[in-house]
A = this chain, B = another copy of it.
């Protein structure tokens, strides 16, 4: 698949078919993930690929608890139409996270200290590579972070060491009924890009 076609047709997929994901595709996707840059090329990432039914369901339970606790199901009904569509779909996922064919938990070694926005610069590029590679192989994904509301429980469940923090939980599978890849709707470039200083026309 051509690079720009992949980029322009990547789209959040939250409903998956039951078709299993071959291990060799998972491996190819992870091998794409680790090609991403990281600060000082330290490669502080780890990926836990969860395919065991019980572990997936347990993760899904934590995800749903965190979703409910964050009041996100309420937001699904209160938001404006465009946002509401996202939340309705996200609500669907929150109820079925544990049923996705594969769950990938992306983690980053932080040393256990405080994190800031730039901590993410050494893990989310890898997550984006992962999702683009999945798209290139016909697999749907979506980047979620709601499980962070159950960070301790998730780490305990999977035996993740204290010096790591979880960064994203990514369900993966072939797109289910009614799902499609891109195109996506975005605020156009001219509205979000500036020349030389804030407000300068591109």
- The chain A residues found within 8 Å of chain B, CB to CB, are 1-8, 10, 12, 26-28, 30-32, 34-37, 39-41, 43, 45-52, 55, 82-83, 86-87, 90, 108, 110, 115-121, 123-125, 127-129, 131-133, 136, 142-143, 145, 148, 157-161, 165, 167-168, 182, 184, 186-189, 192-200, 202
Q: Given A7-B132, A27-B189, A35-B7, A194 and B49 touching (CB < 8 A)?
A: yes
CA of A168 to CA of B6 in the docked complex: distance in angstroms? 23
Asked whether, in the complex, the Cβ of A142 is within 8 Å of the Cβ of B37, the reply is yes
Tally of this chain's copies: 2
A3 to B125, Cβ gap below 8 A?
Answer: no
A-B contact pairs, 16 of them (CB 8 A): A3-B133, A3-B136, A35-B182, A41-B83, A47-B193, A110-B117, A115-B116, A117-B117, A120-B121, A120-B123, A121-B127, A123-B124, A124-B124, A125-B131, A158-B196, A160-B198
CA A196 to CA B157, docked complex, whole Å: 10
Do residues B35 and A167 form an inter-chain contact, with CB atoms below 8 A?
no
A3-B136, A123-B117 are contacts. A43–B159 as well, Cβ < 8 Å? no
Asked whether A51 and B196 contact (CB < 8 A) given A124-B128, A189-B30, the answer is yes
Across the interface, do A35 and B186 meet the contact criterion of CB distance under 8 Å?
A: yes
Asked if residues A4 and B30 are in contact (CB atoms below 8 Å), the reply is no
- Chain B residues near A6: list those with CB within 8 A: 3
- A145 CB contacts on chain B under 8 angstroms: 39, 118, 121
> Please, which residues of chain B bring their CB within 8 A of the CB of A50?
195-196
